[in-house]
């Protein structure tokens, strides 16, 4: 393993840590925010999903700047937005300020989900790319776990502990900004902008073997892209667009964000006390982290496609049993916890480990930034939609929970079938080779 590539990947993956922390930290404060501002279920859903609205916009708009100005410079802006959001949210004095600063954090999360995986995929050797890019997802999960632990530890801090829960994110955000100075520009971006000598120096640090051929392959892929398709939605890119859209959509149709955002509330609905309900997500977070490591270890050996299929089937079974338990009112808080932990196991090593890897792989060099942006936009659009709708559905009647989890269960069966029938396997292939295959050149 190249130590420089690993170090750069870990630094950029800190953006994933902040992504995960920002996503999950709201689970510990959402009920306090609802009570503080006296929100009904609709306004509550909108307030909690305000970050996700920002995420949708951040994901949609980050691709072109990343292609034009570089992945690294965008990561600096992302670190700044995370810092502003953390301290601003913590110090908010009214609902609209809170929504604004959470929206700013959402912009950072969305842009991070574009620039982070794209950068890591572009500096990684083909045989290690899945593992390196999955570091971003591991850090997302690590950030989620640390948010749960932080929320639990800060539960009884002062009169308004939610302010500490949100503000603590500013510390790793500042660290991320400082460490980015040690990261070089992406060699593929450098070649795209005509800085071949600088790109060569970076490629020599990554893999000194056959650097000249690597540069020629990248230049040829950019030349082919320029002559065959001028924009992302050209028919030549129909296949990668479809794959990115589906893998991102189904990631959210697994119910993962609804569960992560509202985990304490779900456990309170089963009759557990508030203190115990705040601790249960810590168990979920630890499980998520451990099995994301498993996915990270095996993704380049097993492949992306088998992981998605096995994970989808396992998630569907667990979600179906949870739906049945809520429908029959035949459960305890701990039985739901066990099913959710098993669900998280299947999620973590499958779609959790695969999503950002696959989206970063399937688009040719010329449109990778736009393609990554499209995949991230799709992911966060459905995340915002589900996060907004979920509390409305579960509070709509006795069977709201059963309906929500039943829907997620069915969607995972649909994903398994679509992946089995239509998805290609991408492991072990260079980005340039995949670009040719995905644009119909082979």
**Cα-based distances in Å from 407 to 387, 392, 395, 403, 414:** 14, 15, 16, 6, 11
The residue to which tokens 């998805």 are assigned:
423
The count of residues in the chain is 442
Q: Given a cut of 90, is residue 406 above it in pLDDT?
A: yes
If one counts every other C-beta atom within 10 angstroms of the C-beta of residue 395, the result is 15
3-class DSSP state of 186: coil
- Per-residue pLDDT, 426: 80
Q: Which one, of 386, 376, 383, 385, lies nearest residue 356 by Cα?
A: 376
Residues 132-143: tens digit of each pLDDT: 777 887 888 888
Q: 127-131, 169-173, 178-182, 235-239 — which is least confidently predicted?
A: 127-131
Name the average pLDDT for the chain.
Answer: 83
Q: How far apart are CA 28 and CA 89, in angstroms?
A: 14
Q: Given a cut of 70, is residue 235 above it in pLDDT?
A: yes
Q: Given a cut of 70, is residue 398 above it in pLDDT?
A: no
Q: Which one, of 231, 219, 152, 228, lies nearest residue 187 by Cα?
A: 219
Q: How far apart are CA 372 and CA 360, in angstroms?
A: 6
- The token duo for 325 is 């338990």
Cα 75 versus chain centre, distance: 15
Instruction: Judge whether 114 and 369 are in contact, CB under 8 Å.
Output: yes
- Per-residue pLDDT, 258: 81
Residues 420-437: tens digit of each pLDDT: 998 888 887 777 777 777
Rg (CA), the chain: 21
Residues 106-116 have a mean pLDDT of 89
The DSSP call for residue 231 is S
Residues 1-57: tens digit of each pLDDT: 567 888 888 899 899 899 889 887 887 888 788 888 888 877 877 887 788 788 889
Residues 153-194: tens digit of each pLDDT: 888 787 788 899 999 999 999 999 999 999 988 888 888 888
Which positions ≥6 away from 103 have C-beta within 8 Å? 50, 51, 53, 54
* Phi, psi dihedral angles at 347 (to 5 degrees): -65, -45
- Per-residue pLDDT, 105: 92
**CA quadruple 115, 120, 122, 123: dihedral positive or negative?**
positive
Which positions ≥6 away from 425 have C-beta within 8 Å? 303, 304, 305
Residues 349-357 have a mean pLDDT of 86
All structural domains of the chain with their residue ranges? 3-438
Instruction: Judge whether 226 and 367 are in contact, CB under 8 Å.
Output: no
- Per-residue pLDDT, 440: 57
Which positions ≥6 away from 441 have C-beta within 8 Å? 224, 228
Residues 245-286: tens digit of each pLDDT: 999 999 999 988 788 767 666 776 666 666 666 677 778 778
Which positions ≥6 away from 205 have C-beta within 8 Å? 2, 4, 184
Residues 298-336: tens digit of each pLDDT: 888 888 899 999 999 999 999 999 999 888 887 776 788
Give CATH for domain 3-438: 1.20.1250.20
- Per-residue pLDDT, 227: 45
- Per-residue pLDDT, 317: 96
Residues 211-231: tens digit of each pLDDT: 777 787 777 766 665 544 456
Q: Which one, of 95, 110, 109, lies nearest residue 48 by Cα?
A: 95
Which positions ≥6 away from 239 have C-beta within 8 Å? 362, 438, 439, 440
Q: How far apart are CA 351 and CA 257, in angstroms?
A: 13
pTM for this one?
A: 0.73
Query: Which of the four pLDDT bands, split at 50, 70 and 90, describes residue 442?
Result: very low
């Amino acid at each position: 393993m190249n130590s420089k590539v690993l170090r750069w990947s870990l630094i950029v993956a800190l953006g994933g840590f902040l992504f995960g922390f920002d996503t999950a930290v709201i689970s510990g404060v959402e009920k306090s925010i609802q009570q503080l501002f006296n929100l009904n279920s609709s306004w509550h859903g909108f307030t909690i999903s305000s970050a996700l609205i920002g995420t949708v916009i951040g994901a949609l708009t980050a691709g072109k700047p990343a292609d034009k100005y570089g992945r690294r410079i965008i990561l600096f802006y992302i670190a700044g937005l995370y810092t502003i959001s953390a301290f601003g949210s913590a110090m908010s004095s009214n609902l609209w300020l809170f929504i604004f600063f959470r929206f700013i954090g959402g912009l950072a999360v969305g842009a991070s989900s574009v620039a982070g995986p794209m950068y890591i995929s572009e500096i990684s050797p083909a045989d290690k790319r899945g593992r390196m890019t999955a570091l971003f997802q591991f850090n997302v999960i690590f950030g989620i776990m640390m948010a749960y632990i932080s929320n639990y530890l800060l539960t009884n801090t002062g009169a308004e502990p939610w302010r500490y829960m949100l503000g603590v994110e500013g510390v790793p955000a500042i660290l991320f900004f400082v460490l980015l100075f040690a990261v070089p520009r992406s060699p593929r971006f450098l070649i795209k902008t005509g800085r071949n000598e600088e790109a060569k120096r970076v490629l020599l640090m990554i893999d000194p073997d056959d650097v000249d051929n690597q540069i020629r392959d990248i230049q040829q892929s950019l030349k082919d892209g320029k002559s065959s398709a001028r924009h992302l939605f050209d028919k030549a890119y129909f296949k990668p667009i479809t794959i990115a859209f589906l893998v991102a959509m189904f990631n959210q149709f697994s119910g993962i964000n609804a569960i992560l955002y509202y985990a304490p509330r779900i456990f309170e609905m089963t009759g557990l006390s508030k203190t115990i309900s705040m601790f249960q997500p810590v168990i979920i977070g630890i499980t998520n982290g451990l099995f994301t490591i498993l996915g990270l270890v095996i993704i380049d050996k097993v492949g992306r496609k088998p992981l998605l299929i096995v994970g989808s089937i396992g998630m569907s079974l667990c979600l179906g049993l949870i739906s049945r338990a809520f429908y029959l009112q035949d459960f305890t808080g701990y039985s739901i916890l066990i099913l959710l932990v098993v669900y998280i196991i299947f999620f973590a090593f499958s779609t959790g480990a695969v999503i950002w890897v696959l989206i970063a792989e399937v688009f040719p060099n010329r449109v990778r930034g736009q393609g990554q942006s499209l995949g991230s936009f799709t992911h966060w659009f459905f995340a915002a939609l589900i996060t907004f709708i979920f509390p409305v559905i579960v509070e709509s009647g006795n069977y709201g929970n059963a309906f929500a989890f039943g829907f997620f269960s069915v969607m995972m069966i649909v994903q398994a079938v679509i992946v089995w029938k239509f998805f290609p396997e991408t492991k072990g292939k260079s980005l340039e080779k995949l670009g040719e295959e995905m644009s119909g050149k082979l």
